[in-house]
Amino acid sequence: MRRLPEIFQEKQKTFSFELFPPKTEQGYANLLLTIAQLAELKPDFISCTYGAGGGNRDKTFEIAQHIQDKHGIPAVAHLTCVLNTQTQIKDILDDIHRRGLRNILALRGDPPIDNPHWTPGPQNFRYSYELCRFIRQYFNDDFGIGVAGFPEGHPACPSIERDAFYLKNKLQNGGDFVITQLFLDNQYYFHYVRRLTDIGVTAKIIPGVLPIANYNRILEFSKKDGVTIPDKVKKIFEPIKDDPEKTLEAGKAFAIEQCKDLLQGGAPGIHFYTLNKYQPVADILKEIK
Ligand code: FAD
């Protein structure tokens, strides 16, 4: 299966989806149906999270392999350092490689809810750049490697300048491309790209877009992950936050405008946080592609 850097050489703009592994067997069966629908939209790649929000780690690579083998679409397997020792990471990477997966989003991750005080020891990687370096050392160029970017800065990083420097360091240690955290004001993305370009970053910085379907969840997310909710967003969603249908429609309309503006402003594509839903992204893609 092709590595994303090769796809990026051929395509100026890519459209892609993120999924997460469901916790139940029924959820898994539903996801396979959703993947079949999403595949009809011909995305350039689909990524699958690893352990995010306490999600089922074991299924990530199975889902990624299914996406490739059944639908012929390049899959990106997310992989995090937290909880795994370096030896375990090596075994996981061997497994990923054996499955024919050739793209990884290399992340640090966060301590899980049931083990919030976990800290890395000498047998663990501390930062994602160490994981990038490790993948390159063992597998040379077999994998395309993505890293996470934070247009508003990672919440634990003392400044956006330092954050940009750490991002560059991930790329210098083997990262090929960047997928960003969600943001609700495109100016954060455009300033971020400028900040990175100014320090010599040339990798593609793909904006991550979440179509809002549940405003209360966005509020929680904003508190936890430091995503600013602009007044414009509050004005649209506060009055309708208890009406799921109106929120969904407003969320799609907002995402369509956001994506159009990003693409016009030079973004190299859009990575949709689908939350395992087909319809919102299908409707949005129809308007922006
Ligand atoms: P790092 O790059 O290691 O950064 C972590 C912190 O350390 C930051 O504050 C950074 O500023 C700082 N730092 C980085 N390098 C250095 C250095 N050299 N010296 C000192 N400090 C440094 N989480 C999951 O659990 N599973 C997923 O599947 C998942 N997918 C994600 C996908 C995307 C697109 C994004 C944006 C995030 C995702 N996350 C996921 C969340 C991510 O794991 C957390 O946000 C985590 O806190 C940071 O991960 P990172 O890879 O950016 O870590």
pLDDT tens readout for residues 138-165: 999 999 999 999 999 999 999 999 999 9
Residue 4's pLDDT band (cuts 50, 70, 90) = very high
pLDDT tier, 113 (very low <50, low <70, confident <90, very high otherwise): confident
* Mean confidence (pLDDT) of the chain: 96
Q: Report, as an integer, the average pLDDT of 116-129.
A: 95
pLDDT at 112: 86
d(CA 75, CA 64): 5
For the segment 207-232, the average pLDDT, to the nearest whole number, is: 94
Place of tokens 């679409």: 73
Whole-number Å distance between alpha carbons of 112 and 145:
24
Residue 10 annotated in active site: no
Range in 51-60, 204-213, 227-236, 274-283 the model is least confident about: 51-60
Whether residue 179 has its Cβ less than 6 Å from ligand 1: yes
Catalytic annotation, pick one of 10, 18, 130, 220: 18
pLDDT in the model for residue 114? 86
Any ligand 1 atom below 6 A from CB of 166: yes
Q: How far is the CA of 85 from the centre of ligand 1 (A)?
A: 17
When pLDDT is averaged across residues 235-243 and rounded to a whole number, the result is: 97
Residue nearest to ligand 1 atom 7, measured at CA? 127
Task: For residue 217, give the H/E element and its range.
Answer: helix 215-225
Q: Crossing angle, helix 186-198 and helix 160-172, to 10 degrees?
A: 60
Output the pLDDT for position 75.
98
Q: What is the pLDDT of residue 52?
A: 74
Q: What pLDDT was estimated at residue 55?
A: 65
Q: Where are the beta strands (DSSP E) in the chain?
A: 14-19, 45-48, 75-80, 103-107, 144-149, 177-182, 204-209, 269-273
- Tell whether the torsion through CA atoms of 188, 265, 182 and 210 is positive or negative: positive
Buried b / exposed e over 192-208, threshold 16 CB at 10 Å, is: bbebbeeeebebbbbbb
Residue nearest to atom 44 of ligand 1 (CA): 109
Proportion of the chain above pLDDT 90, given as a percent: 92
Determine whether the shortest distance from the Cβ of 249 to ligand 1 is under 6 A. Answer: no
Whether 80 lines ligand 1, by a CB cut-off of 6 Å, is yes
- Tens-place pLDDT, residues 9-65: 999 999 999 999 999 999 999 999 999 999 999 999 999 999 876 667 879 999 999
Q: How far apart are CA 122 and CA 283, in angstroms?
A: 48
Euclidean distance between CA atoms 217 and 188, whole angstroms = 21
